[in-house]
Structure 1
Amino acid sequence: MSLDGLQIGKRDSQLWIEIDRTEKANAMTVAMMEGITSAIVHAGADGRTQAVVLTAKGEKLFCAGVDVREQSPDGDAARQRERRSHALAALQDSVIATPIPVVVALNGLAVGAGAMLALMADGCVAVEGSALSLPEIDIGIATFSGANILTVLGGRALAADLVQTGRRLRALDALNRGLISAVVERNELEQSARKIAEALGTKNRAAFADNKRWINRGLRSALDEARREHARHRAEMQDVAK
């Protein structure tokens, strides 16, 4: 199945979702986020699907995050920010709450929301030379979600380092910190992702889902807190703009 900016299809018992918007650095529009979310949720409800693999076209960028330049269909910039926020929240929730494994195959640099998805996945395999980055501070934007995700998964020191400097965390460093599952050569990426998805997807489905829910409870709480802060921040921006 082909949606605007996405390629989605079954490969045996796995659902593969490929971001295909290389001309825009694989940045995700609202419709793309909604499409990925729907595909993941439906896969989790399908007893014939054992795992989801999320990857992207190209060799430089996995995903440049959310497309903040996407124009609102009704011309309302504030409403568009709300749409982006809600679409990203639903996508994040689908990754951490869907009962089957979600594996990210990192073909290149993952920025912003793209890095968050890689970090939150049940497994992540990355090509050599790829990296994770939360550079929002360099364009004057706070990343409450990114800060909380990194604090929960990597600790306060790493969160402060990456969020406050905007620097890139190389895949090998992420591997050494236990943030991703493997680093491989580019020609091994697809097969490695398939193997990780198969290894996780063949576990007892109910037990895997229960473990996943319990493991992610701290992350879910942190995300809820960050979203409230994002909402407060957006409201302040709207008040200033009036």
Structure 2
Amino acid sequence: MSLDGLKIGKRDSQLWIEIDRAEKANAMTVAMMEGITSAIVQAGADETTQAVVLTATGEKLFCAGVDVREQSPDGDGARQRERRSHALAALQDAVMVTPVPIIVALNGLAIGAGAMLALMADGCVAVEGSALSLPEIDLGIPTFSGANILTVLGGRALAADLIQTGRRLPAADALNRGLISVVVLRHDLEQSAKQAGEVLGSKNRQAFVDNKRWINRGLRSALEEAREEHARHRAKT
């Protein structure tokens, strides 16, 4: 199945979702986020799907985050910001609660919401030279969600460092901090992501999702708080 900016298809017992919008740095539109969310939710309800792998085309960028330049179909900028916010929240929730494992195959730089997805996934296989980046501060905007995700998963010191400087965290450093699963050569990326999905997908589904729900409870709570703060911040602008 091919949607605008996405390629979605089954590979044996795994669902592969590929972000395919290289001309826009693989930034996600509202429709793309909704499409990814729908595919993940459907995979979770399908007993024949063992895992979901999320990756992207190209060798430089995994995802530049949400496309903030996407125009509202009705010309209402405030409403478009709400649509983006709700679409991203639904996608993040799907990653955190879907009963099948979500594996990110990180083919390049993950920025903003793209980095958040890589961090939140059940597993992340990254190519050498890839990196995570939450550079919103360099655009003059805060990232409450990014700050909370990093604080929960990496600790306050790392969150303060990456969020307040906007610097990139190389995949090798992310691996050493336990934020991603493995770093591989580019020609090994797909096979390594497939293997990661097979390992996690072979576990008892009910036990896996119960553990996942419990593991992610602190992250979900932190994100709810961040979303409330984002909403207050949007109301002021």
Q: Verify same fold: TM over 0.5.
A: yes
User: Please, what TM-score do these two structures have when normalized by structure 1?
Assistant: 0.98
Task: Give the corresponding residue for 2:46.
Answer: 46
| Secondary structure, aligned partner of 1:103 | strand
In the alignment, the residues of structure 1 paired with residue 207 and residue 83 of structure 2 have an alpha-carbon distance, to the nearest angstrom, of 34
In the alignment, the residues of structure 2 paired with residue 53 and residue 233 of structure 1 have an alpha-carbon distance, to the nearest angstrom, of 33
Superposition deviation, residue 169 in structure 1: 0.1
| Letter matched to residue 93 of structure 1 | D
Structure 1 residue 73 and structure 2 residue 76: aligned? no
Task: Give the corresponding residue for 1:55.
Answer: 55
Task: Give the corresponding residue for 2:208.
Answer: 208
Structure 1 residue 107 and structure 2 residue 107: aligned? yes
| Letter matched to residue 195 of structure 1 | Q
In the alignment, the residues of structure 1 paired with residue 141 and residue 87 of structure 2 have an alpha-carbon distance, to the nearest angstrom, of 18
Runs in 1 of length 4+ with deviation above 6 angstroms? Answer: none
Structure 1 residue 173 and structure 2 residue 192: aligned? no
| Letter matched to residue 229 of structure 1 | E
In the alignment, the residues of structure 2 paired with residue 194 and residue 141 of structure 1 have an alpha-carbon distance, to the nearest angstrom, of 36
In the alignment, the residues of structure 2 paired with residue 103 and residue 137 of structure 1 have an alpha-carbon distance, to the nearest angstrom, of 28
| Letter matched to residue 132 of structure 2 | L
Task: Give the corresponding residue for 1:240.
Answer: none
Matched ranges for 1:86-165 at <5 A:
86-165=86-165
Task: Give the corresponding residue for 1:9.
Answer: 9
| Letter matched to residue 27 of structure 2 | A
Task: Give the corresponding residue for 2:23.
Answer: 23
| Secondary structure, aligned partner of 1:46 | coil
| Letter matched to residue 20 of structure 1 | D
In the alignment, the residues of structure 1 paired with residue 120 and residue 163 of structure 2 have an alpha-carbon distance, to the nearest angstrom, of 16
| Letter matched to residue 70 of structure 1 | E
In the alignment, the residues of structure 2 paired with residue 32 and residue 45 of structure 1 have an alpha-carbon distance, to the nearest angstrom, of 20
| Secondary structure, aligned partner of 1:104 | strand
Superposition deviation, residue 92 in structure 1: 0.3
In the alignment, the residues of structure 2 paired with residue 74 and residue 6 of structure 1 have an alpha-carbon distance, to the nearest angstrom, of 24
Render the CA deviation track for 1:90-110: whole Å, top value 9, x for unaligned.
000000010110000000000
Question: Which ranges of structure 1 fall in alignment gaps of 5 or more residues?
Answer: 238-242
In the alignment, the residues of structure 1 paired with residue 139 and residue 180 of structure 2 have an alpha-carbon distance, to the nearest angstrom, of 27
| Letter matched to residue 73 of structure 1 | P
Render the CA deviation track for 1:170-225: whole Å, top value 9, x for unaligned.
00000000000000000000000000000000001100000000000000000000
| Secondary structure, aligned partner of 2:100 | coil
Question: Which ranges of structure 2 fall in alignment gaps of 5 or more residues?
Answer: none
Superposition deviation, residue 144 in structure 1: 0.1
In the alignment, the residues of structure 2 paired with residue 71 and residue 44 of structure 1 have an alpha-carbon distance, to the nearest angstrom, of 32
Alignment length (residue pairs):
237
Superposition deviation, residue 124 in structure 1: 0.1
Superposition deviation, residue 81 in structure 1: 0.2
Render the CA deviation track for 1:140-163: whole Å, top value 9, x for unaligned.
010000000000000000000000
Q: Give % identity.
A: 85
In the alignment, the residues of structure 2 paired with residue 121 and residue 76 of structure 1 have an alpha-carbon distance, to the nearest angstrom, of 33
| Secondary structure, aligned partner of 2:59 | coil
Superposition deviation, residue 77 in structure 1: 0.3
Task: Give the corresponding residue for 2:64.
Answer: 64
Render the CA deviation track for 1:66-89: whole Å, top value 9, x for unaligned.
000000000000000000000000
Superposition deviation, residue 35 in structure 1: 0.1
Structure 1 residue 192 and structure 2 residue 196: aligned? no
